[in-house]
């Protein structure tokens, strides 16, 4: 399971010109689910996301997490993160979880985040989404479990 975290000042997801998820200051999380991923991994990754220190403290050091700043999180499913890009010029998606398995783990991951006191928004799993964001920094990290 992979989570690409982007620190943002604003992010939103639209599907067919309808906004389905939107946040202000916080994290945009692109989530990729792979074949052998489990709920235990999803729980661990959610905890890492909530505690990952990407925000500046009063000394301008990245010592604060999204939980510390009471930021918001927007989670977007992105199966392309599970792509095998080790050879050739075309990605292989043989390591990506099938849609039913991926959606179940995506939903579980989101539920783990929602157990926090933060505002959690989502895209539309499997939808043709347009994501717009203002990357803050830019600051982007790839977390894997």
Predicted confidence at residue 109, as pLDDT, reads 98
Residue 97 burial by Cβ neighbours in a 10 Å radius (0-12, 13-18, 19+):
buried
Instruction: Enter the pTM of the model.
Output: 0.96
Q: pLDDT per residue over 79-105, tens digit each?
A: 999 999 999 999 999 999 999 999 999
Q: How many CA atoms lie within 13 A of 45 on its CB side?
A: 28
**Calpha distance 75→131 (Å, rounded):** 11
Q: How confident is the model at residue 120 (pLDDT cuts 50, 70, 90)?
A: very high
Computed over every residue of the chain, the mean pLDDT equals: 97
Predicted confidence at residue 26, as pLDDT, reads 98
Q: Could you give the residue numbers annotated as active site?
A: 78-80
**Calpha distance 80→143 (Å, rounded):** 15
Q: pLDDT per residue over 14-52, tens digit each?
A: 999 999 999 999 999 999 999 999 999 999 999 999 999
Predicted confidence at residue 85, as pLDDT, reads 92
Q: How confident is the model at residue 66 (pLDDT cuts 50, 70, 90)?
A: very high
CATH code of 2-130, in short, is: 3.50.80.10
Please answer whether residues 23 and 73 qualify as being in contact, where contact means their C-beta atoms are separated by less than 8 angstroms: yes
Predicted confidence at residue 111, as pLDDT, reads 98
How confident is the model over 126-131, as a mean pLDDT?
95
Residue 26 burial by Cβ neighbours in a 10 Å radius (0-12, 13-18, 19+):
buried
Angle, helix 99-114 to helix 39-51, in steps of 10 degrees:
40
């Amino acid at each position: 399971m992979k989570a690409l975290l982007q620190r943002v000042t604003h992010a939103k997801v639209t599907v067919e010109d309808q906004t389905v998820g939107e946040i202000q200051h916080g994290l945009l999380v692109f989530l990729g689910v792979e074949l052998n991923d489990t709920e235990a991994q999803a729980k661990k990754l959610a905890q890492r996301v909530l505690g990952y220190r990407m925000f500046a403290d009063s000394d301008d050091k990245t010592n604060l997490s999204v939980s510390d700043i009471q930021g918001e999180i927007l989670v977007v499913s992105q199966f392309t993160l599970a792509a095998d890009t080790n050879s050739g010029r075309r990605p292989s998606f043989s390591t990506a979880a099938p849609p039913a398995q991926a959606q179940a783990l995506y939903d579980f991951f989101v539920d783990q985040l929602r157990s926090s006191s933060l505002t959690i928004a989502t895209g539309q799993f499997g939808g043709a989404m347009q994501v717009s964001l203002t990357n803050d920094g830019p600051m982007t990290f790839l977390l894997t479990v």
